[in-house]
Structure 1
């Protein structure tokens, strides 16, 4: 249940952190140690304050509760302080009632109003301005009108239920009678059929033949559509076959073999010449002719004995012959590329011819299959048409025999279907009426509840005023029983004027001590705390600025406030005696050295 809080550049605290425990939390310290600034930091986390340290551009409060983690950041922009992050209190109504009745520091408006002797109605009733009571009443009225409309329909449905139920019963009876009549006609026809034909009555045979006629008709329709699709496909394949062109062969295989042989011959010649060229070039380039032959070196040029033929030759002649050999190698490479391209061209042409021939064979095969399929389906169509003609002739023959029976049965069947459709409609209507009728009590309860809510909202202000005065009186009685005040009692008038009695007479507030005014201020704030159920919004009370109370009175007030909240955080000077609870030591906090930035 511990609350952890970290503070940075809030009011007079530059850096600090501590914990708040359930029960009493006394912030004990001397002036300018950050007591009041700590209260402001908590208010910042709650969302009721934005007091950034003077000369600082940003500040931050992190509050960790058992339920959630909260981070509120303050930043100074264009001379104003802007808040970012989601504080503990998000609803404007919760913020205002907490600020007025739970944040009881020296700047609290209720305490200030009491010190100034002002009328308390405006400040104690201010949260009502944020509840939008008129809008809530208007919304509830619209909701009530909708419910009243539905309630009227439900009551009307409840009235109509007996008549519709009777209509359902009557229709069920008529349908049952019609079915019995249909069965009688069918049974009579079956007896006639048994006398004439042991297998089936004319009506049964007609029904069977009509079924066969329909089947034949459906088969004809399917076959005609299938034949049409097959003919279209056959025509497409024939057209494609006619338009298919197969490139001329022109002995492509022979040409390709010749080109490949020529390419291989050129590649071998090129490799041989390249080997000879590379070896001789290396000998000349490295000037190592003496490894292969005799070299006669002279001033003008070297004479060399050719190592292949044994004849004498000059080095320049040998280099010239080597260059000629390089040129021949270059020519062979060019021929090699030419024949390589020729081979690729011939291979591509051969593949094109092969693909065209395969496509031709596929088309011819598919055309043959389609022609066979088309012939089969045309034969099936002829057979189906013959079946259709036979069945049609038989239907005509049987129709005359069963016309009267069919007409009678058809008439009864038609009436049955009409009554059944009417029965379904009436049953649906009955179901809807039953559903609506069942809602009468619920809608009446909802209407009454909304009426009560509207009445409650209309009387809310008067009720809260009455509750606030009662809470003030109750709190004042408890305060007077615990404190030895110099006045006998204090109360709020119907207009929320504060009246104090001393020695049986009304006394002026100016005659009260600072401590007595502070006690009355706390009583007034607690009256608002109880009237607006502030404990539902925030489970703590913040108290600061109690320097006007003596030690024993401060202890008494703290104990009294502790009974009304889960967490009580208050400030106290070192000279006050110890409290039975957690004491928060501000000495570890870094505070602003400029006293103008500190509220203590």
Structure 2
């Protein structure tokens, strides 16, 4: 992973420049960032968070706000030779975005790179959210399941082909034995034919002497030989067709049994499932929109608390500084949209209620997703059953057609056989009439030679057919190595797909545990010995099914002054410890999902709960994993950060320090 991070940094330009117009509390500004860590230093309400939002806007996030007194705003980011631009416009009370930002889909960055105070991954630890659900949210499990099903079908097809090859290979010994037997029979027939032909040739010497007298007899004998050969071929063809019909009728019984076990499917059931799936998809989409709106509202209210100066009236020269006014009236906040003053604790209560509502919607969406999966699986099974039913029915129809065609050929061949039989009878009668005492036995000799020649011809055809079948099987067996290699590839792909979710979960837990251990050692949190995630598996119900699902359990171990270890809970962590834990969880998601390959920025804000020295250590630690790290800090915290980092102290005039 470190080499990939290094490559991502090498491919990232050395400098980025941001132009901002009417974003958050900023009127207009231009800021440049050098690769590495950049600190936004200042007191509260100096538009540091607004500048971070402007970066988010240019990168593609929707979690940004337009300046209250503006109808439109813009954020533009120059990164190397590329320029990315995002516009915001107020229309009918809503904010509409347009332009060509850095990201097409900001989900990964919103979760694991834009770590402002309201960031969901950062807050998940403190709120006790489902950590596993959050880390796995960007993973398209439906697509993985579909790939698994496709791979299973491909593997089954190859397994069927390999099973067929095994069956064919098992036939080879019998075919070889049969070919040996037929070859022996051919040799015997050749010897018998040679002897019969020799006897006939001796008889034909005498026949030649009286050819003029017996030419008609010779002609009829030749006709008889040819007709008998034709008759035997027709009989053989009829026998072959009957054997084929027997095989087809056996297959037909198997196909009918298979068809009886399948269902053509109830159209009304399919329509009902499709309608229910569409309804659930609409409900899920509506919930996703509501969740997004709740997140925007939460962020808006949190920004009210964080950016007070930008919403207060400008002070006259003789008035107290705006920050002093804030300190004097710290219990109320003035809304920049309606101008009314609202008690701070009322906003905080509202934020907590909104977070609770959002969590409920997330759980509701998760339930709908499970029900959707179940109904899609049911519909898929029905459709597969229907498809197989139609294919089986088509095969049954094809078998019936083939049987009918072969019966018609048998009927035609039977008529030919009867006609040839009559011809043979007529020829034999004619030969009997033509035969004299001098030619006694010639007819029998011709019959014997004809029969031997036909038997030999049939056996040779049988041997040729066996050779063709054996050659065909051997050609098919040559495919085995290729098929086995393909099956191995598919098996590896299946293993990868089946373990991909497990691997992402395992990598997330490993990353969190490793970085948590490293930071606890560096930050030296007194009696806090260890914080780690324990990944367990439990049976949960999804719709009407029970499935195994992983769970991420956060474990905390402290020690007493006497050195005795004991297990603690998240509720007993200090605010500083909770903030660090949440940031490490976000970093784990950032690394596991390779977010550094997707977006080169990570943004940090609202670190006041952590002391200055630890903030400096945290910035140094995070900087090693991010091409551009932008951190908003109070002046006193910024002073503790290493001086070789870029520092921006005046956002409105955009003077980059130092």
TM-score between both structures, scaled by the size of structure 1: 0.49
Higher relative contact order (CA 8 A, sep 6+): 1
Largest Rg, 1 or 2: 1
TM-score calculated relative to the size of structure 2: 0.45
